Structure 1
């Protein structure tokens, strides 16, 4: 009798199922050091306890994408181990900061299933919640993945969830105590505040990073992400290891510092698509488009909604004349971040 787990296939999901993910993960300052070694991350609020304290927080929280990657990694063995592709995100909200010493657990509820017309795979929608050791919700988001079928049996009844196109500014959760009324722009690295940005403005983040095989695999192991396509070169017909989409996400977010140094904390993930596969040796660049601006109830704190695009090509290019993503576009991410007014 085998004791190993080959992962779930499309037939193993049913709407309403709640999956408790293994293994709890206690995070520490080591996560911060490794994250900043893997990516050119340098937003001040996530780099300095003193800066964070001047903004009303007790200390510097871990980077918001550390929360995302840690929770996401928990879900992989149960949701996407046999995935063909991770298709998208919606309704994501950061509900509390993640601090060194916190222990993260995660659960996912299956909220949709739909077999593909080819009969060999289907799409599964899950709503995932990450919690800390006190049972407080840290992060919640929806994602959908294309998962292989085990066999050729009959398809279950399709259930496609209705998802909000974006998180409303009024529903953003502002960390307790956050106060940008005495914000130090010189230490943050740029003078630009919320009112300096305009709707529709496109920001070329200028810098590029060539992706290395070893760095992507180190990052993926750090988050305990076990997806086969990232490690096993025999899992794809072309013999390539697919770069973890979250690695692309963190690289692009870090590159966005140049032009958006004061977009300090990610508080919502409105939507996202991994538009094209990414492989080692490719050079990633990033650009952003300003989609919305809003005030919040916290002193001096505003919110900026951004489209962040990771690309191998030119800034500002997203889709071709056919409406499909340009072949150079790797990631299209829609998110809210907090910024001084």
Structure 2
């Protein structure tokens, strides 16, 4: 069987899908790295909502996908940007997601960390930003989950300089009951975060970031860096206080960063580990044995798919992630909260399918082929 796929110029080309998925045998916990998958939310396709309405979530499918990730030994990073925080999922929806997912994690023994932000605010003073963070931190801690202090659009707008970042984060870290993960999300993921930590000069911003950590090392489990700059991440992780982890958020360079070098390595908190979950888990277990070459052999071929999904405008990577979840059979439809399924072109989605199929990511390649043909037909592409 073959399938006709559109290329970037709109011409149709013939592709022959795989007939068998990649054979994976991974099971059990990891020993060498802490690995989180930032998980997407599944929309309710039958809800009568508009792009401006509160998100309508299919809770059964959303929680089932988290159980899928936990079953492979991955931790779940909940209510992060992959879950469309600030792009379709508001704070009320995120709070419900946190409570439900944390309860599910307890039930199955899964690891979970949840995003703490300020998205109940559109603007405000630094005091109001701090209060918004406090409200969300309380929800996460009450749910029994680890907190991830996410970058705040409102703080970017309100802060007069690096002193405000030091004050707000210092206050939050002092009151956190358990060590948190600090998240530095670059403007390629969210343009409203340009100049975070008080400067658009990344060297200056890094200095402020490290000052926050140095003042409260006992309250910082680790940092998640999403700047898509491998060397900057390596330089930063080498400057961290002892015991503070670096969780790579670099969806372009993750194999080399997780593998590490003679001076250290990165753990992982990645959106690309949503569609790569089982394969990523297999790779990490190979790394657990000390087989770096085997780890790279499994994970390096996935980078082309990841760079495709996360190509500019990077913030729309979620569309490809949800497409692959649908094609893999993890949900029954290709619908996203906020109507974000329309954010990528048909040629982009077709290439995502081709790359994922080539990697053997689809548990049922025939189902993936049939669903891709259905999507193509909706766009008027005859087979």
Regarding TM over 0.5, the answer is no
| Higher share in strand | 1
TM-score (norm 2): 0.26
